[in-house]
Amino acid sequence: MPELPEVEIYCRYFAAHALQQKIERVRVLDERILGDIRKQKLTSALRGREFARVRRHGKHLFAQADVWLHLHFGMTGDLAYYRGDDPRFARVIFDFENGAHLAFEDMRLFGVVDLTPDPDTYIAEHRLGPDPLELTLRRFRELLSPRRGAIKSLLMSQDVIAGIGNLYADEILFQASIHPRRAVGRLTAEEVKNIFTAMRRILREVIARKAVYASYPPRYLIHHREEGTRCPRCGGTIKRSVVFGRTTYFCGKHQV
């Protein structure tokens, strides 16, 4: 499921292939992928224009072509720039004047394609919290201090911080040695700093590895998401439980 690092990679992919090219035609192959916009409006707003720049906030991608195209990748969203046959799960396709195409693919249709006047309006209207890569430790403390509840659910709440989902929330807490159910109000200043540091380090590290799981360091929990396996860090046992409806893995020994 695409989280911040995957969407950052899509954003770079979009920028590398689809900018400064005239959009000859927009094809909506499945209208169920559209947000609050009609097919006709999407196609007429973008036809004849060029994408000038691309921006990411949390798990959202925005591409400016006068108005802004907004993409959310849901569970199985992806981008493909290609010539020739359309990909099997293409839902919206941008045909460029140079003969190439950019497809928004989404097998399961949980993603969204729509337009927004500008990303800041979208972020405000949808009450998205700040992007973790633009946060300072001070701001992170301010975001957590009025909150109640378990740290894992807060890390995944898009109105607190935008971009972290189940997989990276588990990874951050594993590397910061914090139990996923720990109450935010009971974290020490040092522990909040450890979470912040782990969050930034992990996001940067995985983006640098192009979000390809197999290339992540062996010490990452992501390679050990199986109940009963040995913790790569302390030799404890990896446990599985359900926290707020999401399957959660953690070390029963070093995460406290």
Binding site for Zn ion (CB under 5 A): 231, 233-234, 236, 251, 253-254
Choose between 25 and 239: whose C-beta lies nearer to Zn ion: 239
Choose between 87 and 252: whose C-beta lies nearer to Zn ion: 252
CB of 234 to Zn ion, least distance (A): 3
Choosing from 3, 6, 8, 171, which is the catalytic residue?
3
CA–CA distance, 229 with 237 (Å, rounded to integer): 6
Is residue 25 annotated as part of the catalytic site, yes or no?
no
Choose between 195 and 251: whose C-beta lies nearer to Zn ion: 251
Burial 165-197 (b: 16+ CB within 10 A, else e): bbbbbbbbbbbbbbbbbbebeebeeebbebbbe
Choose between 81 and 216: whose C-beta lies nearer to Zn ion: 216
Is residue 59 annotated as part of the catalytic site, yes or no?
yes
Contact at 8 Å (CB) between 152 and 170?
Answer: yes
Maximal CA-CA distance, the chain:
59
Residue 102: name the closest of 209, 15, 34 by CA. 15
CB of 240 to Zn ion, least distance (A): 14
CB of 173 to Zn ion, least distance (A): 12
- Pair of tokens at residue 249: 């893995």
Contact at 8 Å (CB) between 16 and 89?
Answer: no
Choose between 28 and 221: whose C-beta lies nearer to Zn ion: 221
CB of 249 to Zn ion, least distance (A): 11
CA–CA distance, 199 with 239 (Å, rounded to integer): 21
Choosing from 6, 56, 59, 119, which is the catalytic residue?
59
CB of 179 to Zn ion, least distance (A): 11
- Pair of tokens at residue 73: 């990748």
Residue 68: name the closest of 118, 10, 7 by CA. 118
Choose between 182 and 254: whose C-beta lies nearer to Zn ion: 254
Q: Is 105 helix (H, G, I), strand (E, B) or coil?
A: strand
Choosing from 25, 209, 246, 253, which is the catalytic residue?
246
Name the phi and psi angles at 175, rounded to 5.
-75, -25
CB of 241 to Zn ion, least distance (A): 15
CA dihedral 203, 208, 214, 216 (to 10 degrees): -50
Is residue 56 annotated as part of the catalytic site, yes or no?
no
Is residue 240 annotated as part of the catalytic site, yes or no?
no
CB neighbourhood size of 128 (10 A):
20
Which residues are annotated as catalytic? 2-3, 59, 246
